[in-house]
């Protein structure tokens, strides 16, 4: 799932009625993979609305931390799952869900533990606080089989550097969703920002 787009918008939906127009703006801007975080009471409704109403979107669920959430998200239509971290219980539930998943890591030991379990695609979180591009660059030598979607503290200024790394498939971020544009339901502006973000593939040099 790291190959859908160079940037995965990390979306917090406060009003379920915003889900479809917001997703349409992101898709029109070239960002089809949309992570809806489970941080609001309407998150599952938003996932369901996008799955049903935006054919071009690949909607997923973020901030997944329990097996129960895994089940509810997949039933709502989530096509991928993202967690900030992982446990054996959560990993088993995500693996059993039948959809792609990105368990969160921030240490070498966590990466090695996932590789032992056959997981090669991971979320690196919180990316900037956990060491940023220098940390990921250091992992590429001893652990080249691991690929990452860094999230946390990433914006248009540093995303190209992340995307230039051989072990980074895409990045996650919120900068294409400024709060004032979301509050104003300025979908045209969000589409424009999404289009600029989708162009970071070329700016980064690599994003497989």
Confidence of residue 203 (pLDDT cuts 50, 70, 90): low
Residue 208 has pLDDT above 50, yes or no: no
Which run of H or of E encompasses 10? Answer: strand 7-11
Q: What is the pLDDT of residues 126-171, one digit of tens each?
A: 999 999 999 999 999 999 999 999 999 999 999 999 999 999 999 9
pLDDT at 4: 85
User: Active-site positions?
Assistant: 35, 123
Q: What is the pLDDT of residues 81-107, one digit of tens each?
A: 999 999 999 999 999 999 999 999 999
Closest C-alpha among 46, 14, 7 to residue 29? 7
Residue 205 has pLDDT above 60, yes or no: no
pTM (whole model) above 0.85 = yes
């Amino acid at each position: 799932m790291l190959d859908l787009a160079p940037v995965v918008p990390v979306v917090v939906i406060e009003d379920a009625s915003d889900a479809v127009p917001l997703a349409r703006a992101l898709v029109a801007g070239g960002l089809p993979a949309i992570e809806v975080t489970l941080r609001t009471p309407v998150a599952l409704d938003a996932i369901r609305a996008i799955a049903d109403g935006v054919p071009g979107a690949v909607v997923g669920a973020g901030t997944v931390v329990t097996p129960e959430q895994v089940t509810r998200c997949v039933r709502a239509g989530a096509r991928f799952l993202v967690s900030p971290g992982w446990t054996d219980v959560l990993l088993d539930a995500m693996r059993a869900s039948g959809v792609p998943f990105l368990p969160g890591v921030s240490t070498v030991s966590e990466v090695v533990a996932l590789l032992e379990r056959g997981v090669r695609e991971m979320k690196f979180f919180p990316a900037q606080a956990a060491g940023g591009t220098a940390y990921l660059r250091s992992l590429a030598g001893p652990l080249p089989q691991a690929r990452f979607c860094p999230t946390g503290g990433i914006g248009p200024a540093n995303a190209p550097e992340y995307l230039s790394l051989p072990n980074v498939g895409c990045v996650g971020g919120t900068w294409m969703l400024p709060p004032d544009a979301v509050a104003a339901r300025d979908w045209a502006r969000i589409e424009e920002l999404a289009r600029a973000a989708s162009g970071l593939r070329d700016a980064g040099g690599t994003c497989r």
